[in-house]
Amino acid sequence: MTDMQAAVKAALKAQAVETPSWAYGNSGTRFKVFARPGVPRTPWEKLDDAAKVHEYTGAAPTVALHIPWDRVDDYAALAAYAEERGLRLGTINSNTFQDDDYRLGSVCHPDARVRRKAVDHLLACVDIMEATGSRDLKLWFADGTNYPGQDDVRERQDRLSDALREVYDRLGDGRRMLLEYKFFEPAFYTTDVPDWGTAYAHCLKLGPRAQVVVDTGHHAPGTNIEFIVATLLREGRLGGFDFNSRFYADDDLMVGAADPFQLFRIMYEVVRGGALPSDVAFMLDQCHNIEAKIPAIIRSVMNVQEATAKALLVDREALTTAQRAGDVLGANAVLMDAYNTDVRPLLAELREESGLDPDPVAAYHRSGWARKTAEERVGGEQAGWGA
Ligand code: AOS
Ligand code: ZN
Ligand code: ZN
């Protein structure tokens, strides 16, 4: 094994991908949610499924929760349950978009009563973090307007700023606030946190523990996401990723499915920025509408690993030499050589060295977990979006 291969393997072994609890539940579109037999009915069962993903990949040790979709009476008990299964509870995702009260927004709503309600929910999430031991609070706001003139765009920024300040100041020691942006949907004219610049400006004002989250599906077509990643890393403000794939809008398909080359370019900037390992959270934010959920999540983790392996294989020395010499095609070729490397044998070897099956999807299918859960998880209500 070359030194390069050993270094690549060591970096890959240290990489962890956080899976989202909501990906284990039923989901769909506004047209139809397709129910699948065996889907979890409770947060506890979601953790049982997440444990399977970790068991076969060895790379998914934490699970993000969504409040209130994963509401339980005792979060410390949920954390203990996760630990018994070799997992930890990860990022707490807040929800300020589901209630009727939020028709005109949440923390940016024109009515102070609604803003108070939204901030109280975020503060409740801060308390939950203490019970679960979660490091990060992830904020995504559906706030915005549909029509020019509907509300005062600048004043909405002031309201947002006040809300973020109150929540930031309540974060416990070592906790972080991750602010996610999205350019449109559900609001269609203005969105209150539409882009990385707006998120970054708020984070800068708040303090170092406020960080930007890049959801790969939240950009206009053609946006150079890896440039945003490079910039945020340079400024020390990249808190994490919500990984998924998009063809059109916020499609939430499996990461690396639509554009594996883009994922590679992003991971190259992560490696280049010295962020592997780092505090950057590598999270999935996906919904599996027509496919089996656990194998899709395993596949997604593998897609992140493959992109990372290729990014790590870039011959940085040769690249720098070509870049400094102004060798445009030579530099491009160095990058493409790494991208075009088949890293699957390397990853299979790595898994075997860690006592895992080289083919996690096949191992999962052989395990009989899908059949067992379809038989056992009857009655009650299946979890899904909003459940
Ligand atoms: C919404 O579009 C965002 O991607 C959110 O990160 C997320 O999907 C939702 O809030 C679930 O927590
Ligand atoms: Zn997201
Ligand atoms: Zn999204």
Dump the DSSP string for 13-77.
HH---BEEGGGGSB-B-SS-B---TT--SSHHHHHHHHHHHHHHHS---EEEEETTTT--S-HHH
If you measure from the C-alpha of residue 285 to the centroid of ligand 2, how many angstroms do you get, rounded to a whole number? 5
- If you measure from the C-alpha of residue 347 to the centroid of ligand 3, how many angstroms do you get, rounded to a whole number? 29
The tens place of each residue's pLDDT in the chain, 387 residues long, gives: 788 889 999 999 999 999 999 999 999 999 999 999 999 999 999 999 999 999 999 999 999 999 999 999 999 999 999 999 999 999 999 999 999 999 999 999 999 999 999 999 999 999 999 999 999 999 999 999 999 999 999 999 999 999 999 999 999 999 999 999 999 999 999 999 999 999 999 999 999 999 999 999 999 999 999 999 999 999 999 999 999 999 999 999 999 999 999 999 999 999 999 999 999 999 999 999 999 999 999 999 999 999 999 999 999 999 999 999 999 999 999 999 999 999 999 999 999 999 999 999 999 999 999 999 999 999 878 887 665
Q: Is 103 exposed, middle or buried (0-12, 13-18, 19+ CB in 10 A)?
A: exposed
Q: What pLDDT was estimated at residue 383?
A: 82
Q: What SS3 string covers 310-354?
A: HHHCCCHHHHHHHHHCCCHHHHHHHHHHHHCCCCHHHHHHHHHHC
In angstroms, rounded to a whole number, what is the distance separating the alpha carbons of residues 239 and 138? 10
- Ligand 3 center from residue 237 Cα (angstroms): 20
Instruction: Report which protein residue has its CA nearest ligand 1's atom 8.
Output: 285
User: What is the token pair recorded at 40?
Assistant: 């979890």
Ligand 1, atom 1: nearest CA belongs to which residue? Answer: 140
Nearest CA to ligand 1 atom 7: 285
Does 195 map to a domain?
Answer: yes
* Index of the ligand 1 atom closest to the CA of residue 66: 12
Buried/exposed 314-349: b ≥16 CB within 10 Å, e otherwise: beeebbeebeeeeeeeebeebbeebbeeebeebbee
Residues having CB closer than 6 A to ligand 1 are: 22, 66, 93, 140, 180, 182, 215, 242, 250, 285
> What atom in ligand 1 is closest to the CA of residue 244?
4
Q: Which residue's CA is minimally distant from atom 3 of ligand 1?
A: 140
Atom of ligand 1 nearest to the CA of 138: 6
The number of the ligand 1 atom at minimal distance from the alpha carbon of 287 is 8
Residue 97 lies in a domain: yes
Residue 224 lies in a domain: yes
- Cα 244 to ligand 1 centre (Å): 11
Number of domains in the chain: 1
Q: Which residues contact 181 (CB under 8 A, 6 or more apart)?
A: 191, 193, 194, 195, 196, 198, 199, 212, 213, 215, 218
CB 256 within 8 A of CB 263: yes
315 CA to centre of ligand 3 in angstroms: 34
User: In the numeric block, which tokens belong to residue 229?
Assistant: 């990643």
Phi-psi region of 355 (alpha: psi -120 to 50; beta: other; left: phi over 0): left
Return the ligand number nearest the Cα of 284.
2
Domain membership flag for residue 382:
no
Ligand 2 centre distance from Cα of residue 320 (Å): 34
Backbone dihedral region for residue 131 (phi beyond 0: left; psi -120 to 50: alpha; all else: beta): alpha
Query: Which candidate, 130, 134, 210, 133, places its Cα nearest to that of 167?
Result: 210
The CATH number that applies at residue 306 is 3.20.20.150
Cα–Cα dist 157/197, whole Å? 13
ipTM of the modeled complex:
0.97
Which atom of ligand 1 has the smallest separation from the CA of 95?
Answer: 10
208 vs 269: CA distance, rounded Å: 21
The answer as to whether 78 is a domain residue is yes
Ligand 3 center–CA 190 separation, angstroms: 16
Answer for the pair 140, 99: CB distance below 8 angstroms, yes or no: no
Residue 353 CB: number of other CB atoms within 10 A?
11
Residue 183 CA to ligand 3 centre (angstroms): 10
Q: Structure tokens of 83?
A: 């630990």
Flag whether 301 is in a domain.
yes
Q: Is the dihedral of CA 382, 248, 203, 60 positive or negative?
A: positive
The ligand placed nearest to the CA atom of residue 193 is 1
Atom of ligand 1 nearest to the CA of 180: 6
**Domain assignment of residue 385, yes or no:** no
Give the residue, out of 66, 215, 287, with the most ligand 1 atoms within 8 A of its beta carbon, to mutate for a pocket test.
Answer: 215
pLDDT for the residue 310 = 98
In the chain, alpha helices (H): 3-14, 43-57, 75-84, 112-132, 153-170, 196-206, 225-234, 260-272, 293-312, 316-324, 328-339, 344-353, 360-367, 369-376
Q: Is residue 387 part of a domain?
A: no
- Residue 322's domain comprises 3-376
The ligand placed nearest to the CA atom of residue 215 is 2
Q: Which residue in the block uniquely carries the two structure tokens 């047209």?
A: 31
For the entire predicted model, the pTM comes to 0.97
Buried b (16+ CB within 10 A) or exposed e, 104-113: bbbbbbeeee
